[in-house]
Structure 1
Amino acid sequence: MTDGTSGGAAVCDRPDCPGAGRGRINVRGFCSECGRKARGRAAGSPSPDTPASASASASAILESESTATAARARRRAVARKFTVRPAGDGLMDLPRVELPSLRDLVIDDPQPPPQGQPCAGCEETVGAAYAGQPALWTGVCHHCRHPFDFTPQLRPGDLLGGQYEVVGGVAYGGLGWVYLAEDTQLDRQPVAIKGLINDDDETAQRAAIEERRYLTMLDHPGIVSIINYVRHPARGSGRPQGYIVMEFVAGVTLSTIGDYIARVDPHFDGARVYQHILTYGALALDALEYLHGEKLVYCDLKPSNVMHHEGRVKVIDLGAVRQLGQRDGPPPVITEKFAAPEVVHHGALPTELHDLYGVGKTLKNLSDKVRRAAQRPPGLGRESYDRLLARATAYDPRQRFGSAREMAEQLRGVLREIHSLRLEREQPEPSTLFVPTAALLDSGLGRIPGLERWLTGQARPVLADGRPGPKRVPLGLPVPFPDAKDPGAALLNTPTDSGPRRLIEQLRAFPHESAEIRFRICRAHLELDEVDEAKAQVKAAERIIGGDRAPYDWRLNWHRALVRLAEGAVAEARREFDAVYGALPGEYAPKLALGYCAEHLADHGAAERFYQAVWQRNRSQGSAAFGLARLRLAAGDRTGAVDVLSEVPKVSRHHDAAQIATVRVLAGRLGHPDGLPTEADFAEVLTRLPRLYLDDGRSSGHARERLTAEVWEVALDWVLRYGNKDEAGALFGKRDEEAVVRADLERALRDLAQQADRPEAVEVLVDRANAVRPMTRV
């Protein structure tokens, strides 16, 4: 422990303690949470009914504040020795932290650690500064009487192993001093020498041996590497003492980076600061993924154990690393503030999920230093970031990410989202969880109207915004990839052209219990509009997954949401999709679904944030573009809708639909008194209409004829309301504007009559053509 408490310490018994049973009593008798003496702890202490003295409480607070202030002052002094240069333009580029001279780091006047260190005999904190008294170099533990000595054992000029010449001490680590030395046999390359607290400290000796063994095995660019292991006579006793020789990492810890953020350093200011924080997390997770693959747990991930050097990140101080599931040996080294609750409060062994908790707490520690609104990410970015941390630091480990890779994938998704929203520049990346879909969440805005449009309904209808009904949405959303661990995954990954009814029959013959098979059958029933059967399949999948795991499986939330949409229960579907968003904050799919739900429920502000987050990150996501266009149309913003639709790129499978929708929006009649297009809108229509890819690329055909008829209908309305009889200001630059438009519309309607396949339809269309025919001049 490094906070002055230990797992075996007494718990504060004051009912008003803010720690609510978590406060531990240190060797001086004070609570780590409320700063007061425990009731009845020692003779002469206050009675149970007597409050602790104000002076005792105040001194504890003052000591804590002075220690924190001193630590910040030391970090600030170190930071001033570094040069920070701007980050590059890349997604994960960090500011460059450089040190002109390694010797600048040497501490000329070493001091004992003000926060003290755990006692080797009982793990109580010893030597800490307290109530205005300075920290101690040497002494005896008040609890178990074990001696301690923080005096540096090496001095400048000492030669270790006949090879490493000490330059000086640079820092005090968890197990002792860290020294800068030079390799006299290798061009005086800098190395770090890590020593122990003292030569009698058996616990520290064992921890150092473990660290040396693990470090020798490890080879990862994000983890500090060991070079050698040497012994040197201890000062005074002459007893050989072990030292670890490591690569020297000339950088600043994330604790110092937090100070940069709090001070609004120019290189850690603006909305990009969250990108830097997420980059630190991504690189730390890469290192943890490697460790976990070696069946090792880091145990003590915190800001002071992650170093930013140059433009890179490296995890340092691996003294706490232990084998996964290791029960023998010394207790795990943790820092309670960054340790998982099951380890701190329930004595569980650290696992991979404990490490992920530490990453989440480390990122939160950094982002809590953000003070200015300009430093916060735009749009949905902040919420996605908060949800990432919420899952990583969930109290129940079953709610956390299942692995470092899983967390890293979602973290990088949030990083790309923030980057794209900040620069309004896309950052696409294929999802590993959802299959790209060819479906489009649109109910007609991007399609040419059918002939029925002129045979039924209003003669001049208002342009529909194309929002699909809830029942159609499940078929237009992305589909989750089958879980590779599910027994039915191989079958589901085999292409098939079976229709939904035949597919249900085939999948029901699968001989094993498979949640993924049930999910696929559920979606097939939704295609057939068989909602009750689909709901039964979700319940069957829940039974297969198991009651202990089902509450934490986002696939169940996703399919329950699809069923709720098919039932028309959009508010209930929204809650289920929100649970998926909490589990997968870096994915497109739940945000697209939540955008639709918010749009349907008239929560246009939320719909805007969700659609915008998807659209800015990937311009091929046509459903998000159409969603934004619908919101613009609902607000009467024709230009805004056109701007969004026009940006769907040619590489998108929804490009042609977006081009059609653009023409229809430009020429459409909106549902308000001033809903007719402007002259500029019609001019743009005449430019775009011939370029549309219609009728398999032919210059004429049924689709082009129907769209042309729709355009001329609105043009006639415009001429009747605003048109002039002289050439100046005419819509199409002709003197007899009304006669010209009527003639073109009549011709278009007669072309439609030739498409009709029954006499009564021909009659209706001919009657409409005759109704708009221009008057014959005599």
Structure 2
Amino acid sequence: MTDRVCTRPDCEGAGRGLINPRGFCAECGRRPPPLPPAPPPPPVAGSRSPGAAGSLSSEATADTDRARRRDAARKFRVRPAGEGLLDLPRVELPTLRDLVLRDPHPPSRGRICGRTGCGETVGAPYAGQPALPAGYCPRCRHPFDFTPRLRPGDLLGDQYRVVGCVAYGGLGWVYLAEDTQLDNQPVAIKGLIDDEDEAALRAAVEERRYLTMLDHPGIVRIINYVTQPDPRNSDRLTGHIVMEFVGGMTLAQIRDCVADAVPHFDGPRLYEHLLAYGCLALRAVGYLHGEKLLYCDLKPSNVMHHEDRVKVIDLGAVRRLGRDDGEQPVITERFASPEVLTRGAAALTERHDLYGVGMTLKELSDKATRPAQRPPGLGAESYRRVLVRATAADPDRRFGSAAEMSEQLWGVLREIHALRLRREQPAPSTLFAPTAALLDASLGRVPGLERWLGAEPRPVLAPGLPRPDQVPPGLPVPFPDDADPGAALLRTPTDSGPRRLIEQLKAFPRPSAEIRFRISRAHLELGEVDSADRELTAAARIIGSGARHDWRLWWHRALVRLAEGQVAAARAAFDTVYSALPGEYAPKLALGYCAEHLGDHDAAHRFYEAVWERNRSQGSAAFGLARLRLAAGDRGGAADILGGVPKVSRHYDAARIATVRVLAGRLGGPDGLPAAEELVEVLTRLPRLYLDDGRPSGPARDRLTAEVLETALDWALGAAGGSGPGLLFGEADDERTVRVRLERTLRGLAQQADSRGALEVLVDRANAIRPMTRV
């Protein structure tokens, strides 16, 4: 000892603790500061409490951690991913020995004292001084030692030869070793960072137990458990878990790659990789939940990307669901849900793990700040809403299960993938039934006879935007919730009309929100809006306290608002559904209509595009995009969209009719007539349309032909007057040819008249079109 005393204000022996020859205080185990320490800065809002791990770490320490992760990541070779939805960049292992840490350091932010109930941080840097690898807790004097127990060359269990330290986990050092009895295959050996840590010892026992019983490709696999004498105390045995070696980068290292825009973790595909991480991690988390286990400490450093796969590692925090033995759970504050931070283990549920998955994805995507890393179209907003729901402060707002969250991640992943490649990624929804109805009032239909009976002889083509009260039957219908007592009845097919169906469903003897929803929709079919709204009030009472977060209730409220003509209110309700279900088609289709009706064409385009690019069979989205193109005067763009509806779609024939009407229709403005090549294309398409139940002639074909020929006549008159070049029919006199054909067609329409007045009007129109007789 020297005669120098410790001057630290937090040293219990301040003023009398002697400094030993190595320069450390015998009382608190730390170096004295070279100068009296400055007063501590005031606490920053949102910072962690003084007892939390890492609260004493400096910015320099954090920079050192990031530099260490980046140095380790540079040792890996990353190859591009395939084009599959879940394909990830391939992280190829370097020489395994390159992963060995040359100078293994203890956790740079320190750890909580190992004595139960203490809560003090030990082994953390202080006032610019480096962290101590060993010493005593300044509060309770409990010893700690973070130095590795195993050294290169040590042989465990006469089988596993240690190569060196490769990392430290939440509770223990991780060593690379070789199995000498199995061709020196690499294995990972995990031992405690501090075997004086009582909580860590218990967690190690729990981890060994759970690893032994688990079998999932996304969870690290245990191979063996071996013990050996403690090198510092030969009378004491220390245990080590032998696991499969997962050589790759943690998502904490991937986060740094994203921040540095490393190739293959840059560009618009980045978010697809992040969503794939989430889907794959949720598979493992969902498996644990099925085994009645909670992971508790999901964070980037506990998820490993190796080769083109993902594994969850470090199960030291796993605990039985519902276990309440008074012990605090092993969590990381930054990734722990608010209710667990406030109430501890009593608040642990599956939603805590889902919060950790959401925060892990947020950590990665927050580093994607470059414009080139942003996903296209609506993808960024859908991704944001997934994270907002997953990380909601109120656990009731979060996803209810790993499967539910995974389904929405899958939907957003398909959306971004389709928007990037302009290649559809269809998949049936498990929440909404498809509908045969089409969100179109006229564009995809052959005009009725009344078109030729009005005052305007040749009206401008109507874009076909439906009235709000016409929309509810054209939107997808939610499947009944299987947990509802009325679900089985509602899944039974029926041919009852809406009035009879209401009578039948009201006889159901048990309270059922789903029955009320179905009755509400039946009232909307009958135009009984007030009755429909009353059924939703009854449904909310049945649902109870969860009604404010029930997306089915919000969906039906939006339908009622549409039926009332309150489109802005409907838009707000559909937006709530979109926030709850960011990966679904239905709310985006509904929001596209609302935005279009309210004149917000940019927003309407984003919603329709997200649905259309993902599934080309969604005819309502195609018609919405076509209407937007027509409003912008882009006749060819509208026709191209409609022409992309595939033959397998139930809206295929309507789209083909709409294409003909768009190419031949009269638009508003001085340049409202189509070009000659567009009319020629129409005359080619017209005979191939499926009309009149497939017959080559009939009333529907006559009406559509008449509409096309009227536009052709206007074009021919313009061409004869010098405003249009070329021939339509290959005839020397296009005008006469069109007049002859149109007169014949209009006389055919006269035969469809159901009244004498209609017959006279149509005959008069035919006579007015008739060409002058040549002498």
* TM-score after normalising by structure 1: 0.92
The corresponding residue for 1:109 is 103
Deviation digits for residues 306-326 of structure 1, max 9, x if unmatched? 000000000000000001111
- Please give the alpha-carbon distance, in whole angstroms, between the structure 2 residues aligned to 1:402 and 1:129: 41
- Please give the alpha-carbon distance, in whole angstroms, between the structure 2 residues aligned to 1:544 and 1:616: 38
Go from structure 1 to structure 2 and tell me whether the alpha carbon gap of 1:488 and 1:726 turns closer, same or farther (over 3 Å shift): closer
The corresponding residue for 2:472 is 474
Q: What's the secondary structure of 1:87's corresponding residue?
A: coil
**1:82 counterpart = 2:79:** no
How far apart are 1:201 and its partner, in Å? 2.9
Go from structure 1 to structure 2 and tell me whether the alpha carbon gap of 1:328 and 1:725 turns closer, same or farther (over 3 Å shift): closer
The corresponding residue for 1:51 is none
Structure 2 gap ranges (5+): 1-39
- Please give the alpha-carbon distance, in whole angstroms, between the structure 1 residues aligned to 2:214 and 2:52: 38
Deviation digits for residues 237-285 of structure 1, max 9, x if unmatched? 1110111111110001001001111111111111000000110011001
The corresponding residue for 1:687 is 684
How far apart are 1:16 and its partner, in Å? 7.5
How far apart are 1:515 and its partner, in Å? 0.3
The corresponding residue for 1:49 is none
Pick from 97, 112, 117: which aligns with 1:118?
112
Paired residue total: 732
Go from structure 1 to structure 2 and tell me whether the alpha carbon gap of 1:255 and 1:126 turns closer, same or farther (over 3 Å shift): same
How far apart are 1:175 and its partner, in Å? 1.4
Deviation digits for residues 329-361 of structure 1, max 9, x if unmatched? 631000010000001123343211001111111
- Please give the alpha-carbon distance, in whole angstroms, between the structure 1 residues aligned to 2:195 and 2:272: 44
How far apart are 1:485 and its partner, in Å? 0.3
The corresponding residue for 1:3 is none
The corresponding residue for 1:56 is none
- Please give the alpha-carbon distance, in whole angstroms, between the structure 1 residues aligned to 2:456 and 2:292: 70
1:419 maps to a residue whose letter is H
How far apart are 1:689 and its partner, in Å? 0.6
- Please give the alpha-carbon distance, in whole angstroms, between the structure 2 residues aligned to 1:520 and 1:472: 18
Pick from 16, 19, 22: which aligns with 2:45?
19
Q: What's the secondary structure of 1:167's corresponding residue?
A: strand
- Please give the alpha-carbon distance, in whole angstroms, between the structure 2 residues aligned to 1:143 and 1:718: 93
- Please give the alpha-carbon distance, in whole angstroms, between the structure 2 residues aligned to 1:481 and 1:322: 35
1:478 maps to a residue whose letter is P
Calculate the aligned-residue CA RMSD, in Å: 1.7
The corresponding residue for 1:390 is 388
- Please give the alpha-carbon distance, in whole angstroms, between the structure 2 residues aligned to 1:492 and 1:521: 11
Deviation digits for residues 557-613 of structure 1, max 9, x if unmatched? 000000000000000000000000000000000000000000000000000000000
**1:762 counterpart = 2:759:** yes
Aligned pairs for 1:340-739 (under 5 A) are: 340-347=337-344, 348-546=346-544, 548-723=545-720, 729-739=726-736
The corresponding residue for 1:223 is 219
**1:176 counterpart = 2:201:** no
- Please give the alpha-carbon distance, in whole angstroms, between the structure 2 residues aligned to 1:559 and 1:612: 24
- Please give the alpha-carbon distance, in whole angstroms, between the structure 2 residues aligned to 1:608 and 1:105: 50
- Please give the alpha-carbon distance, in whole angstroms, between the structure 2 residues aligned to 1:720 and 1:286: 67
- Please give the alpha-carbon distance, in whole angstroms, between the structure 2 residues aligned to 1:651 and 1:23: 57
- Please give the alpha-carbon distance, in whole angstroms, between the structure 1 residues aligned to 2:753 and 2:647: 33
Aligned pairs for 1:213-252 (under 5 A) are: 213-238=209-234, 239-252=236-249
Q: What's the secondary structure of 2:192's corresponding residue?
A: coil
Asked whether the equivalents of residues 303 and 311 of structure 2 are also in contact (C-alpha less than 8 Å), the reply is yes
Q: What's the secondary structure of 2:182's corresponding residue?
A: coil
**1:135 counterpart = 2:131:** yes
How far apart are 1:695 and its partner, in Å? 1.1
Q: What's the secondary structure of 1:195's corresponding residue?
A: strand
* TM-score after normalising by structure 2: 0.92
How far apart are 1:727 and its partner, in Å? 12
Structure 1 range deviating more: 723-732 or 344-353: 723-732
The corresponding residue for 1:273 is 270
The corresponding residue for 2:159 is 163
- Please give the alpha-carbon distance, in whole angstroms, between the structure 2 residues aligned to 1:739 and 1:27: 90
Asked whether the equivalents of residues 114 and 196 of structure 2 are also in contact (C-alpha less than 8 Å), the reply is no
The corresponding residue for 1:68 is 62
- Please give the alpha-carbon distance, in whole angstroms, between the structure 2 residues aligned to 1:265 and 1:403: 33
Asked whether the equivalents of residues 725 and 735 of structure 1 are also in contact (C-alpha less than 8 Å), the reply is no
How far apart are 1:718 and its partner, in Å? 1.4
Deviation digits for residues 534-578 of structure 1, max 9, x if unmatched? 0011111001101x1110100110000000000000000000000
1:515 maps to a residue whose letter is A
Q: What's the secondary structure of 1:108's corresponding residue?
A: coil
Q: Percent identity?
A: 72
Go from structure 1 to structure 2 and tell me whether the alpha carbon gap of 1:231 and 1:727 turns closer, same or farther (over 3 Å shift): closer
2:558 maps to a residue whose letter is A
Go from structure 1 to structure 2 and tell me whether the alpha carbon gap of 1:419 and 1:728 turns closer, same or farther (over 3 Å shift): closer
Asked whether the equivalents of residues 58 and 128 of structure 2 are also in contact (C-alpha less than 8 Å), the reply is no
How far apart are 1:758 and its partner, in Å? 2.5
Q: What's the secondary structure of 1:536's corresponding residue?
A: helix
- Please give the alpha-carbon distance, in whole angstroms, between the structure 1 residues aligned to 2:74 and 2:42: 43
How far apart are 1:131 and its partner, in Å? 2.6
Q: What's the secondary structure of 1:549's corresponding residue?
A: helix
Q: What's the secondary structure of 1:657's corresponding residue?
A: helix
Asked whether the equivalents of residues 630 and 638 of structure 2 are also in contact (C-alpha less than 8 Å), the reply is yes
Structure 1 gap ranges (5+): 1-13, 33-59
The corresponding residue for 2:770 is 773
How far apart are 1:725 and its partner, in Å? 9.0
Asked whether the equivalents of residues 723 and 731 of structure 1 are also in contact (C-alpha less than 8 Å), the reply is no
**1:185 counterpart = 2:210:** no
Q: What's the secondary structure of 2:654's corresponding residue?
A: helix
Q: What's the secondary structure of 2:289's corresponding residue?
A: helix
Asked whether the equivalents of residues 199 and 234 of structure 1 are also in contact (C-alpha less than 8 Å), the reply is no
- Please give the alpha-carbon distance, in whole angstroms, between the structure 2 residues aligned to 1:400 and 1:622: 32
Asked whether the equivalents of residues 709 and 749 of structure 1 are also in contact (C-alpha less than 8 Å), the reply is yes
Structure 1 range deviating more: 168-177 or 516-525: 168-177
How far apart are 1:760 and its partner, in Å? 2.1
Asked whether the equivalents of residues 112 and 120 of structure 2 are also in contact (C-alpha less than 8 Å), the reply is yes
1:212 maps to a residue whose letter is R
How far apart are 1:724 and its partner, in Å? 6.0
1:19 maps to a residue whose letter is A
Q: What's the secondary structure of 2:168's corresponding residue?
A: strand
